[in-house]
Amino acid sequence: MQNNIPIHSTADFEGMRKAGSLTSRILDELEQLITPGISTLEINNFCHKMIIENDAIPAPLNYKGFPKSICTSVNHVVCHGIPSQKKNLQNGDIINIDVTVILDGWFGDCSRMFVAGKTNKKTYSFLKTTYECLLIGIKNAVPGKSLGDIGYEIQKYAEKNNYSVVRDFCGHGIGKKFHTPPSVLHYGNLGEGPELKPGMFFTIEPMINMGDWKIKILKDGWTAVTKDKSLSAQFEHTIGITETGNEIFTLSHNNSDFPIKPL
């Protein structure tokens, strides 16, 4: 699964830039929208409309039977939460919103955490550390390093802060398909896996739990939750490896990659 990592051309970077840019622009709009009382279905509908209006396609919709256009994962939901009219955000809830668009055939995949209303110190530092895990992963995604170095550094930082790294889901190659090689683990060992090369496109999307890393899938077949009901958080970017480092395709347009106000 780690062989056959596609190497993309300069022209392909331009396609990813456009798809990534739309993805992050949608997430930028959500900061104002996410307040106590809103349902996750309303967030889904807002994103769906904005994706369609920009001549793009919501990639999750009907993907392997997923029923909605985005994933909304609240509190102890790790990932793949299904938007629902019945799920209204309460003050202090934390939510991951994961948006994937297809624009001119190219996939942009990005997610951020938001807080409905106000959070507390303990949760704020958990969210901050999770975002830093993503940044550490990106910092290590440079030509000459191994894929495994990314996971190793993320795991080291998360565990130093007494959090755990989810094992059951990983980042993925991306481009003209949603999921391609390589699998980008958010844990592991230095020097393992293939060497990173210019032209590789993949996501880094560590899921970090406040308690144990073990998860289970609910009966809907999608919603992943922490077994111990502890909080889970995640941030995701889509990047491309360049000659000198990497390019982040899904950067916020208003510096809101971490859209949570300090306490």
Residues that bind ligand MF3 (CB under 6 A): 60, 63-64, 66, 71, 80, 98, 100, 109, 172, 203, 205, 236
Alpha helices (H) in the chain, listed in sequence order: 10-33, 40-53, 121-139, 147-160
Q: How far is the CB of 250 from Co ion (least distance, A)?
A: 10
User: How far is Cα 221 from Cα 25, in angstroms, rounded to an integer?
Assistant: 30
- For residue 153, the partner it binds in ligand MF3, Co ion, none, with Cβ less than 5 to 8 A by kind, is none
- For residue 186, the partner it binds in Co ion, ligand MF3, none, with Cβ less than 5 to 8 A by kind, is none
HEC profile of 174-206? CCCCCCEEEEECCCCCCCCCCECCCCCEEEECC
Nearer to Co ion, 17 or 229 (CB): 17
Alpha helices (H) in 140-196, listed in sequence order: 147-160
- For residue 259, the partner it binds in ligand MF3, Co ion, none, with Cβ less than 5 to 8 A by kind, is none
Q: Which residue is nearest to ligand MF3 (CB)?
A: 60
Nearer to ligand MF3, 87 or 172 (CB): 172
- For residue 66, the partner it binds in ligand MF3, Co ion, none, with Cβ less than 5 to 8 A by kind, is ligand MF3
Q: How far is the CB of 183 from Co ion (least distance, A)?
A: 11
Query: Burial of 2 by CB count in 10 Å (0-12 exposed, 13-18 middle, 19+ buried)?
Result: middle
Spatial contact of 114 and 31, defined as CB atoms under 8 Å apart? yes
Spatial contact of 246 and 113, defined as CB atoms under 8 Å apart? no
Which residues of the shown chain bind Co ion in the complex (CB under 5 A)? 98, 109, 111, 203, 236
User: How far is Cα 259 from Cα 263, in angstroms, rounded to an integer?
Assistant: 13
User: How far is Cα 231 from Cα 210, in angstroms, rounded to an integer?
Assistant: 5
- For residue 232, the partner it binds in ligand MF3, Co ion, none, with Cβ less than 5 to 8 A by kind, is none
Nearer to Co ion, 24 or 203 (CB): 203
First to last CA, the chain: 43
Nearer to ligand MF3, 71 or 127 (CB): 71
Nearer to ligand MF3, 119 or 127 (CB): 127
Q: How far is the CB of 37 from Co ion (least distance, A)?
A: 26
Q: How far is the CB of 252 from ligand MF3 (least distance, A)?
A: 17
Tokens of 211: 């308690």
Nearer to ligand MF3, 119 or 134 (CB): 134
Q: How far is the CB of 178 from ligand MF3 (least distance, A)?
A: 7
Q: What angle do CA 109, 110, 111 make, to 5 degrees?
A: 140
Q: How far is the CB of 55 from Co ion (least distance, A)?
A: 20
C-alpha 207: how far from its chain's center? 8
Residue 117 CB neighbours (<10 A) = 13
User: How far is Cα 260 from Cα 263, in angstroms, rounded to an integer?
Assistant: 9
Nearer to ligand MF3, 63 or 245 (CB): 63
